[in-house]
Structure 1
Amino acid sequence: MREPLAISVLILTKNEQQDLPGCLHSVAWSDDVHVYDSGSTDETASIAQARGAQVTTRSYPHSAAPFGGDEAAHRNWGLRHIAFKHEWVLMLDADERATPELIAAMAAMLNQPGDVAAWRIHRRDYFLGTWIRHVTPSPFNIRLIRPAAVRYERIINPVTIVEGPVGDMDAHFDHFPFSKGLSHWFAKHNGYSTFEAAHIVNGGRGGDDFKLGQALFAQDANVRRMHQKALYYRLPLRPLVMFLGLYIGKRGFLDGRAGLVYATLRAIYEYMIVLKVTEMQSGLQQGGKP
């Protein structure tokens, strides 16, 4: 039996009874697993408890928002209030799996003291039974952290802000974003697109804090990505830009049918945002009133 690693695990959940068992199995090497639940109505909590995980439940203040509400604030609350046993915390979603390569890399990291405050880990997304190696837009994620050095910003798809050096770990975790089927994916992204659109209309994209130099040359990858997002939301024909960027620019065509379908889905998502911004700005939600 593998000796426990001195690393805590935090799994974010809401109605994850299907995917949670596999995730918990992949982190059985940890003696400090926490399931941070945002109000599941299925068997998520009981599954976690039956497998020895500690469950913390906290509902979002705005239940109409995607994933319940302000995701950044929710994550920040968890990092500040959950009593982790170890200095390092691995952050996972229920549809993600810690791989043997990642476990070995984390064990090696523990034996090499340093001043790194967080680690970026390569994410492998799977779709239609294959690893979509090229088409995914953001393959690296900050997931192994010292909680005191990390905070999150943005209501949805939060950006990770690290106070201190960030390292790149030569390992990966697996992600199965379509494990619940396309209907679930569309339902989730319908909610996401509504809030992305509202965020744009309310000035959350491309505002006065946007700097082109930061988008192109910022040394911190998260700062660069944040400003690149602002630049991206200023572009015309964003759905087409997204498709061409993923399918041609990132060579998604090398992923075969899965790459084509995934790039198309991402373009559809962008078009949903564009349409909803137009709807909000033109007042079409007023039921056609003059």
Structure 2
Amino acid sequence: MISVCILTLNEERNLPACLAALSWCDDIVVLDSFSTDRTVEIAKEAGARVYQRAYDGEDRQRMFALKGIEYKHTWVFMPDADEITTDELRDEMLAIAADPTRPESFFRIRYKNMFMGRWIKHSSLYPTWMTRFFRPDRIIRFEREEHAIPIGDGPEGRLKEHYLHYSFNNGLRAWYEKHNRYSSSEARETVESLRGGSVSWHKVFSSRSEVRRRGLKELSMRVPFRSQARFMYMYIVRGGFLDGLQGYHYCRLIAAYEYMIVIKTKELQRRERGLPV
């Protein structure tokens, strides 16, 4: 079998569906960041073990989840509360967990990004691989404060099946609040990267998707009109227009997020030089 750990903060809208899709699991943990809604109550009613810890970055929160909590099973699946586990993904993970000879430290999983009732395949730059399935005893650390990258003592693997991601289910206000936090972290990384000099081209052309994405991110930090370029790339080059009106709205939202990073980067750079914002 598999244990499950879900990181939460005010997820009363999403958590019931997430837990319902995990009804096959006999060891569910919710690591909550002191929610003020019914998240903890919902988790306990579903039979989950609840721990609370103040959120101080995704890297530290996930590290605590894997190293600071005892689990019943060797493998731990870590979906977010706005992610739905499909039956096909469940079966694939159970097959891996049943094989004690597997050498992997963790597995990456693709997701289908859902927006306004539609899978926005092209707009969301599918496929994007997220690390969700771990062997805690093989995890060494996480890198990056947000969108944390695990480092293990064994190889990584990739699963064939998907989960469904409903990132807007808490409403646009919640999405903006989360991406306001993300953009602050991205702006700090941008300032450090620009200070470091040239683009790491070996990352841009890496065979590992997560390394390649970081290289492309470094490159994008130096692109003029970054938010406009992001919209054109997603909507025209990657075919976001094929996702209908949902694709258009989504590409505009991501372009706005990129603009938040641009403005916050300029703010940090001016503060470093002692200039008013």
What TM-score comes out, normalization by structure 1 length?
A: 0.86
Alpha-carbon spacing, 1:43–1:199, altered in 2? closer, same or farther (3 Å): same
Corresponding position of 1:170: 160
> Do structure 1's residue 148 and structure 2's residue 137 form an aligned pair?
yes
1:208-263 deviation per Cα after TM superposition (whole angstroms, max 9, x unaligned): 6962112212x333233333322222222211221122112322121111111111
Letter of the aligned partner of 1:128 in structure 2? M
Q: Residue 215 of structure 1 contacts residue 225 of structure 1 at CA under 8 Å; is this kept in 2?
A: yes
Residue 143 of structure 1: CA displacement? 1.0
Greater shift in the superposed pair: 219-228 or 94-103: 219-228
Corresponding position of 2:40: 45
Measured in 1, the distance between the counterparts of 2:27 and 2:6 equals: 11
Q: How does 1:1-290 map to 2 (within 5 A)?
A: 6-60=1-55, 69-112=56-99, 113-137=101-125, 139-150=128-139, 151-201=141-191, 203=192, 207=196, 211-217=200-206, 219-283=207-271
1:74-108 deviation per Cα after TM superposition (whole angstroms, max 9, x unaligned): 21122111101111111111111111111121233
Measured in 1, the distance between the counterparts of 2:257 and 2:224 equals: 15
Alpha-carbon spacing, 1:208–1:70, altered in 2? closer, same or farther (3 Å): farther
Q: Secondary structure at the match of 1:133?
A: coil
Residue 204 of structure 1: CA displacement? 5.0
Measured in 1, the distance between the counterparts of 2:178 and 2:200 equals: 31
Letter of the aligned partner of 1:260 in structure 2? Y
Alpha-carbon spacing, 1:53–1:206, altered in 2? closer, same or farther (3 Å): farther
What TM-score comes out, normalization by structure 2 length?
A: 0.90
Measured in 1, the distance between the counterparts of 2:223 and 2:245 equals: 28
Q: Residue 117 of structure 1 contacts residue 146 of structure 1 at CA under 8 Å; is this kept in 2?
A: yes
Q: Residue 89 of structure 1 contacts residue 147 of structure 1 at CA under 8 Å; is this kept in 2?
A: yes
Residue 167 of structure 1: CA displacement? 1.9
- Aligned structure 1 segments of 4 or more residues deviating by more than 6 angstroms: none
Alpha-carbon spacing, 1:25–1:35, altered in 2? closer, same or farther (3 Å): same
Q: Residue 74 of structure 2 contacts residue 97 of structure 2 at CA under 8 Å; is this kept in 1?
A: no
Q: Secondary structure at the match of 1:135?
A: coil
Measured in 2, the distance between the counterparts of 1:187 and 1:124 equals: 22
Alpha-carbon spacing, 1:74–1:148, altered in 2? closer, same or farther (3 Å): same
Measured in 2, the distance between the counterparts of 1:231 and 1:287 equals: 26
Alpha-carbon spacing, 1:287–1:117, altered in 2? closer, same or farther (3 Å): closer
Residue 128 of structure 1: CA displacement? 1.1
Greater shift in the superposed pair: 145-154 or 91-100: 145-154
Alpha-carbon spacing, 1:288–1:220, altered in 2? closer, same or farther (3 Å): closer
Greater shift in the superposed pair: 142-151 or 37-46: 142-151
Measured in 2, the distance between the counterparts of 1:72 and 1:205 equals: 23
Q: Residue 161 of structure 1 contacts residue 222 of structure 1 at CA under 8 Å; is this kept in 2?
A: no
Corresponding position of 1:64: none
Measured in 1, the distance between the counterparts of 2:270 and 2:124 equals: 33
Q: Unaligned regions of 5+ residues in structure 1, if any?
A: 1-5, 61-68
Identity percentage over the alignment?
40
Q: Residue 160 of structure 1 contacts residue 222 of structure 1 at CA under 8 Å; is this kept in 2?
A: no
Residue 116 of structure 1: CA displacement? 2.2
Q: Secondary structure at the match of 1:15?
A: coil
Alpha-carbon spacing, 1:194–1:35, altered in 2? closer, same or farther (3 Å): same
Q: Residue 206 of structure 1 contacts residue 234 of structure 1 at CA under 8 Å; is this kept in 2?
A: no
Q: Unaligned regions of 5+ residues in structure 2, if any?
A: none
Alpha-carbon spacing, 1:252–1:161, altered in 2? closer, same or farther (3 Å): farther
Q: Secondary structure at the match of 1:93?
A: coil
Q: Secondary structure at the match of 2:184?
A: helix
